[in-house]
Amino acid sequence: MERKLRTVIIGGSSGMGLAAAQKLYSLGHEIVIASRSKDKLEKAAKMIGKAESHILDVTKEKEMIQFFNSVGPFDHLVTSAANFVMGPFLKMPLDEAKQFFDSKFWGQYLAAKHGAPHIRKGGSITFFCGVAGQKPFMHFSTGSAINAAIEGLTRALALELSPLRVNAISPGTVVTPVWDVVPEQARLTEFEETAKKLPAKRVGQPEDIAQAAVYLIQCGYATGSIVYVDGGGRII
């Protein structure tokens, strides 16, 4: 009997990570999800169908080491967990900018560092960056820097960790719970106005990103790649 692929998704309890977990489970993968929220993990496991879940703070290296030691050998790693901070460059407190880096850049860096030794032959790492790394926008200078840094890390690790494959997904505007902090009417208006500008004429859904994750996991010839799933946001 052929062994099932085992995929670890950090940030798999909501949004794009959850959609990727659901899609991969439907394709026969054993799923391991991790995030900071026990409640979200329990709900996500039910939504996926079946999943092993772990509470994990990606900013704490000791927790990351313990997590991968407890998970053991696996085939693919997807890292989508991150905080989100916006604000004018001259006014944003340095601590907030550092926390954003700790979550999105250093969190993924640590996941790769401590996860890679546990990945079986033929496996892969899929990072998450974002369209702002290629097309900056107002009041998101920290996010632009982080996303560009992740693109650079992806290409560097594709060389250094070879033959382990390392890629990244760069989403544009996607309807996920990260937008819940914005009042509903303002949120819907933002999505509508963004959709009008995009060549795709719509904003993204988590399922769009899940399809990109499946491609990068399944395509054994893809490494050092940044897959842009942004509705054409980079070219407007």
Q: What is the token pair recorded at 43?
A: 């709900």
Tell me the pLDDT of the chain averaged across its residues.
96
On the question of pLDDT at 183 being above 80, the answer is: yes
pLDDT band at 1; cut points 50, 70, 90? low
**pLDDT over threshold 70, residue 43:** yes
Digit-coded pLDDT (tens) for 74-120: 999 999 977 888 899 999 999 999 999 999 999 999 999 999 999 99
Sign of CA dihedral 46, 52, 53, 59: negative
Spatial separation of the C-alpha atoms in residues 187 and 199, rounded to whole Å: 20
Question: Which 8-state DSSP code applies to residue 181?
Answer: G
What superfamily does domain 6-228 belong to in CATH?
A: NAD(P)-binding Rossmann-like Domain (3.40.50.720)
Domain boundaries, the chain: 6-228
CA 73 to chain centre: 21
CB half-sphere exposure, 18, CA atoms < 13 A: 19
Nearest-CA neighbor of 101 among 146, 152, 35, 138? 146
pTM over 0.85: yes
C-alpha span between 68 and 150 (Å, rounded): 21
pLDDT in tens, 205-227: 999 999 999 999 999 999 999 99
Q: In the predicted model, is pLDDT for residue 229 greater than 70?
A: yes
pLDDT tens for each residue of 112-155: 999 999 999 999 999 999 999 999 989 999 999 999 999 999 99
Residue written as token pair 């996303």:
147
159-177: pLDDT as tens digits: 999 999 999 999 999 999 8
Element housing 31 (H / E): strand 30-35
Hey, which bits of 84-195 come out as E strands? 119-128, 165-171
- pLDDT (0 to 100) of residue 63: 98
Say yes or no to pLDDT of 178 above 70. yes
Q: Calculate helix-pair angle for 107-115, 141-160, nearest 10 degrees.
A: 10
Residue labelled with tokens 């719970």? 177
